């Protein structure tokens, strides 16, 4: 059963305490109930804010251990508010915006949390696209006035795959690819689309191997200009993506982190028709307790910077 708040008032009434947040995570993590790994007992009892123990053998476990919330020093109520805000806004929010609205005190906390949550925007074991899928590639970033400095986005090439359901755009997948070679393009398709699907592309020769790999390849446009002049649905998605990167994130996305922004855009886009934004809140938390903790060195490369964040901002 999908159980989530539908309005801000419902959210506030429900998640005002650590206990309420922890219990919700418990439900999401063990939807069929927790079974003690030592004695198979099913009865647990909470201790403090984050721990439970088995009423039979006294085994202690934490609802956040082994999830993206592991090792956090901040209250779950704050995390929940961040996630509510992040998912409640159609276009999401920047780290700076979240720092302000939540009174986080530090940009780095907001930035680090956002990056952890982006990792949870891909559901473990999600299904690939299928049916009719339009595939093209586009350059994004670069050439924006004032955005050329170190770490700013230069030109990045991304592969775009768009499901077409009765002439309407269905789900999408976006991936950064190193170049428009056959190897890169075909790998991106194999990563995003199930074999047996109909793949529609332009005439670019990079796609010509698809037919031999179990796809039905249709060339729907006779020109072949890699990175430009996109097929219509891919064009639509690429425009929205570019607008989002510039609008919500002021174009300040580094190549190093671009993949995770693509994941966030995809998460939002694929749920754009959800009746309640609360459903996105639910999905994100559901994924967050299913994926492994993300060590800080996976988000930030600089070791001294990692230590500072760990000491002050998590």
Binding residues vs Zn ion (CB under 5 A): 36, 38-39, 41, 54, 56-57, 59
First to last CA, the chain: 32
Give least dist CB 206 to Zn ion, A.
56
Q: How far apart are CA 158 and CA 137, in angstroms?
A: 6
Give least dist CB 51 to Zn ion, A.
14
Residue 140 near residue 241, CB atoms below 8 Å: yes
Give strand ranges (E) for the chain.
44-47, 51-54, 60-62, 132-140, 156-165, 168-177, 198-201, 216-219
- 166: Cβ–Cβ under 8 A, 6 or more apart, which residues? none
Q: Which is nearer to Zn ion, 41 or 274 (CB)?
A: 41
Give least dist CB 285 to Zn ion, A.
26
Q: Which is nearer to Zn ion, 45 or 305 (CB)?
A: 45
Q: Which is nearer to Zn ion, 37 or 214 (CB)?
A: 37
Give least dist CB 40 to Zn ion, A.
7
Helix (H, G, I), strand (E, B) or coil at 192: helix
Q: How far apart are CA 178 and CA 180, in angstroms?
A: 7
Q: Which is nearer to Zn ion, 41 or 77 (CB)?
A: 41
Q: How far apart are CA 31 and CA 29, in angstroms?
A: 6
Q: Which is nearer to Zn ion, 59 or 139 (CB)?
A: 59
Q: Which is nearer to Zn ion, 39 or 183 (CB)?
A: 39
Give least dist CB 34 to Zn ion, A.
10
List the structure tokens of 96: 């700076």
Give least dist CB 61 to Zn ion, A.
10
């Amino acid at each position: 059963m999908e159980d989530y708040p539908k309005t801000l008032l419902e959210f506030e009434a429900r998640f005002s305490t650590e206990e309420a947040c922890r219990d919700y995570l418990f439900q999401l993590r063990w939807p069929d109930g927790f079974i003690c790994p030592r004695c198979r007992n099913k009865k647990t009892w909470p201790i403090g804010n984050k721990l439970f123990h088995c009423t039979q053998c006294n085994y202690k476990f934490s609802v956040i251990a082994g999830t993206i919330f592991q090792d956090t020093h901040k209250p779950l109520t704050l995390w929940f508010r961040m996630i509510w805000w992040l998912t409640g806004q159609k276009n999401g929010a920047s780290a700076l915006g979240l720092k302000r609205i939540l009174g986080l005190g530090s940009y780095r906390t907001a930035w680090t949390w956002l990056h952890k949550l982006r990792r949870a925007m891909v559901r473990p074991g999600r299904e690939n696209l299928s049916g009719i899928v339009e595939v093209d590639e586009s350059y994004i970033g670069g050439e924006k006035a004032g955005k050329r400095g170190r770490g700013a986005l230069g030109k990045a090439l991304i592969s775009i795959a768009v499901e077409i359901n009765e002439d309407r755009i269905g789900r999408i997948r976006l991936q950064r690819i190193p170049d428009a070679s056959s190897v890169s393009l075909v790998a991106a398709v194999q990563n995003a689309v199930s074999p047996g699907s109909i793949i529609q592309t332009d005439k670019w020769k990079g796609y010509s191997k698809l037919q031999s790999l179990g796809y039905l390849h249709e060339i729907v446009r006779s020109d072949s200009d890699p990175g430009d002049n996109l097929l219509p649905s891919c064009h639509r998605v690429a425009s929205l993506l570019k607008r989002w990167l510039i609008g919500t994130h002021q174009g300040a996305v580094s190549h190093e982190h671009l993949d995770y922004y693509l994941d966030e855009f995809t998460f939002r886009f694929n749920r754009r028709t959800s009746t309640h934004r609360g459903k996105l809140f639910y999905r994100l938390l559901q994924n967050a307790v299913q994926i492994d903790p993300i060590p800080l060195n996976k988000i930030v490369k600089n070791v001294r910077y990692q230590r500072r964040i760990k000491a002050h901002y998590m």
